[in-house]
Amino acid sequence: MNGPVLSVRDLRVWFGTPGAPVRAVDGVTFDLVAGETLGLVGESGCGKSTLGRSLMGLLPEGAACDGEILYDGANVVDLATRELRSIRGPDVAMIFQEPMTRLDPLMTIEDHFLETLRTHESDLSKAEMRRRSLDALGGMGIPPTRFGQYPHEFSGGMRQRIMIALALVLRPRIVIADEPTTALDVLVEAQILSILSDLRRNFDTALLLITHNLGIVAEACDRVAVMYAGEIVESGPSADVFRSPAHPYTRELLASIISLRTESLRSIPGAPPDLREPPPGCRFHPRCPAAMQVCPSLSPVPVQVGTGTVRCWLHGPEAMIPAGGTAPLEHRTLEVADEA
């Protein structure tokens, strides 16, 4: 396998608030390899979208970022605004949620594409820009007769295809797709996933797919990273994680999936914590059915389990667990019994 095109090391992102800072991303580390798809999953509010935006330097005012985002020998965290703009689009592109809020309603689709190409490849003639744009749209199944129309004249699925075409017209090495199938019906969802799969296969593009849909991850991703309360708690090859999840949170997420065999709905008790004051120790322990006495007092460290890594005291390292620290938490056992 080729070396990573993007390496993230101990990345932290926090937002200033009148009270305590919100630690939206806290110590995240992963690699992204050319030609692979990495699925980033977890409940809403766990920091997935913030992580995706931080990779492109698109954090809002009041946000701070620390750690390393290594791309092409440079740390994106340290780049100036002008340098960031030079890699957005040609090198790293992003497909946002809800394309209707990202497309300018006063601009035609042609205007969107010409603006993008004029900004990053100004040496192209207008005829070449038009050809490139129509090629990108054609790859998404949108005919050239609709090039002069406005965003409101397209369905939700077609607007999402336009967003993908805008991201791909500059032929980036990395694409960050933030919930690209949100609010789309299952047929359009399948078409979008097929387009993303073709992109990876034909152009060796690395794809970070941010989603809460585990079914999409099982179908489209080579590896998966499970995020909870700003941390990646488990990562590994998708097939291995789905076959034998190591972290209790991953197991609970998988148990919540609805299938044709589902007879009753299942959910994870409670909600993700307030990231201004996350719980001490393991951040999942207040909701964890396997919580032990060590969990509220010490933060687990990532350990190798099979072909992946997991951040959970169920898997050690035992040398760090104090004596008597493996006994179950009685209050959590009672809570689970009450929920049942």
Q: Where are the domains of the chain?
A: 4-228
How many CB atoms neighbour CB 228 within 10 A? Answer: 25
Q: What is the mean pLDDT of residues 72-94?
A: 89
**Token representation of residue 70:** 């290594």
DSSP E strand stretches across 48-101:
63-71, 74-75, 92-95
Per-residue burial over 154-186, b if 16 or more Cβ lie within 10 Å, else e, is: beebbbbbbbbbbbbbbebbbbbbbbbbeebee
pLDDT tens, position by position, 307-323: 999 999 999 777 677 76
Burial status of residue 82 (CB atoms within 10 A of its CB: 0-12, 13-18, 19 or more): exposed
Q: Round the CA-based radius of gyration of the chain to a whole number and report it.
A: 22
Edge-to-edge order in the sheet of strand 74-75:
22-33, 4-15, 63-71, 74-75
The rounded distance, in Å, linking the Cα atoms of 31 and 75 is 14
2 CB-side CA count, 13 A: 12
pLDDT tens, position by position, 90-118: 899 998 877 777 899 999 999 999 999 99
H/E segment holding residue 236: strand 231-237
Q: What is the mean pLDDT of residues 251-265?
A: 86
> Is the pLDDT reported for residue 339 higher than 80?
no
Q: 143: which residues sit within 8 A by CB, 6+ positions away?
A: none
> Is the pLDDT reported for residue 335 higher than 80?
no
pLDDT tens, position by position, 143-186: 999 999 999 999 888 888 898 889 888 889 999 999 887 767 78
Q: 322: which residues sit within 8 A by CB, 6+ positions away?
A: 294, 297, 298
Q: What is the mean pLDDT of residues 180-209?
A: 81
Cα–Cα–Cα angle for 23, 29, 30, rounded to 5 degrees: 135
Is residue 181 helix, strand or coil?
Answer: coil
Q: 293: which residues sit within 8 A by CB, 6+ positions away?
A: 324, 325, 326, 327, 328, 329
| Under 8 Å between Cβ of 168 and 139 | yes
Q: What is the pLDDT of residue 2?
A: 65
Hunting for tokens 């394309």 — which residue is that?
99
How many CB atoms neighbour CB 278 within 10 A? Answer: 17
Q: 46: which residues sit within 8 A by CB, 6+ positions away?
A: 227, 228, 229, 230, 272
Class of domain 4-228: alpha beta
Distance of CA 76 to the CA centre of its chain: 18
Q: What is the pLDDT of residue 338?
A: 35
| Whether residue 317 has a cis bond before it, omega within 30° of 0 | yes
